[in-house]
Structure 1
Amino acid sequence: MESGAYGAAKAGGSFNLEDFLKRPETIMRLLSSVFALIVFACILTEGYVSVPDSLIHCIFNQNIDACHYGVGIGVLAFIGALVFLALDIYFPTVSNINTRKYIVLSDLGFAGLWTFLWFVGFCFLANQWSVTNPDSYVTGGDGARAAIAFSFFSILSWFPLASLAYKRYKMGVDDFNTNYIDPNLAPTSPYSSYPDAVSDNYQSPPFTQSPETDDGYKPPTY
């Protein structure tokens, strides 16, 4: 985990592809997107089966809600994983601390929510599959079992993402100096007072003659 503000450089870091691919967040997001893709692809391709009455039913105990749930959380998880992967690329260039905080909190909330939704989805699909009549479908069993398995794997990929986001949030701004003041915004000190025009050392101009001189001379009167 990088030091700085919420797990990245403090101000405007640069993107490094090699380091980015080695990050646990990157690995977990890629796995999460692949797992989600497999889940909703298996349900879309093999989860809906035809029956003699010419209607389409869900292979999971003919419960259409089970198929809709698997496809829904799978598609949203796939999109979410890619969105946060893009934000991970953008994150080091963000120098605003509050913006970083909101990104990390969004990551934490989304990862935590989808860990729970995948857990519910795994239990739901597994339960419906356990009570499914084998005679109700001819093909699609492998796809259903794959959807259940990768729903469980998705729990194992989203939970670490939630944990990593929580660590980044707890790290916060660690050694970032919150008392830092931008020099351009720092208040300026008042100007020093201009020296008085008249000072004690002021000397009268030369060649100034008083009305009466020291030798008693007076101007003549007429």
Structure 2
Amino acid sequence: METGAYGAANAGGSFNLQDFMRRPETILRLLSSVFALIVFACILTDGYVSKAHETTGTLYCIFNANMDACHYGVTIGVIAFFGALAFLALDVYFPTLSNANTRKYIVLSDLGFAGFWTFLWFVGFCFLANQWASTNPELYVVGGDNARAAIAFCFFSILSWFPLASLAYKKFRMGVDDFNTNYMDPNLATASPYSSYPDAVTDNYQRPPFTQSAETDEGYKPPSY
């Protein structure tokens, strides 16, 4: 894990391609974009099919003729594909940022998007798997392999987006801990320190008025009558 405010090790520095490609976030984002591409490409290619022995040319969703299943898979796949690429582009720009608030907003956006899409992929996997289990394969001519591939890569997408959410959360916690450790009240930082109590030995201590010294007390004698 990178060190620095919100994980920006070279905040305000330059971009290093070799280090960038070795980052776990980069690998996971590339995998997430590929998995999303496979999901919506499989559905768009063979997800909308005609029923066997039907000559009307009407297209049905291969997942139990439920059009919502196909629309759901395509929608979250397309958004996930472009979202992964967008955050990959932000990762290129991220190390050069010197503003802590800007880095904070990017990390929070990454955390929210990755966490939400982890949930959506889980719902999509359950939804498509349930609809496919209820589908009669004899009703359709082609598309079975692509349907199973879409379900499989929905599951793989869960395994790629959840680590992205975890890494974004660690970055956010890193920034919060760094702020709490280095924070100093500006009023205390600029205030002058308290003056020390004067030392009776080193400072010129003056006796209070109207007191008699020990020598005066010893030399005093009461008057005799």
Q: Do these two structures clear the TM 0.5 threshold for a shared fold by scoring above it?
A: yes
Counterparts of 1:1-222 in structure 2, within 5 Å, are 1-9=1-9, 11-51=11-51, 52=54, 53-172=56-175, 174-175=177-178, 177-179=182-184
Contact 1:60 1:67 in 2 (8 A): yes
The letter for the 1-side match of 2:136 is N
The letter for the 2-side match of 1:107 is D
Identity of aligned residues (%): 79
TM-score w.r.t. length of structure 2: 0.77
TM-score w.r.t. length of structure 1: 0.78
> What 5-or-longer segments of structure 1 have no aligned partner?
182-186, 188-222
User: Over alpha carbons, which structure has the higher Rg?
Assistant: 1
C-alpha RMSD over aligned residues: 1.7
Q: Which has the higher helix share?
A: 2
Contact 1:3 1:174 in 2 (8 A): no
When residues 107 and 27 of structure 1 are mapped into structure 2, their CA distance, relative to the original with a 3 A threshold, is same
Contact 2:42 2:147 in 1 (8 A): yes
The separation in 2 between residues aligned to 1:75 and 1:134, in whole angstroms, is 27
Secondary structure in 1 matching 2:6: coil
Corresponding residue pairs, total: 182
**Structure 1 residue 49: Cα displacement:** 0.2
**Structure 1 residue 11: Cα displacement:** 3.6
Deviations along 1:53-104, whole A, 9 cap, x unmatched?
A: 3211000000000000000000000000000000000001111110000000
The separation in 1 between residues aligned to 2:87 and 2:98, in whole angstroms, is 18
Contact 2:10 2:96 in 1 (8 A): no
Contact 1:4 1:173 in 2 (8 A): no
Deviations along 1:16-46, whole A, 9 cap, x unmatched?
A: 1111011000000000000000000000001
The separation in 2 between residues aligned to 1:165 and 1:11, in whole angstroms, is 17
The letter for the 2-side match of 1:129 is W
> What 5-or-longer segments of structure 2 have no aligned partner?
191-225
**Structure 1 residue 173: Cα displacement:** 5.6
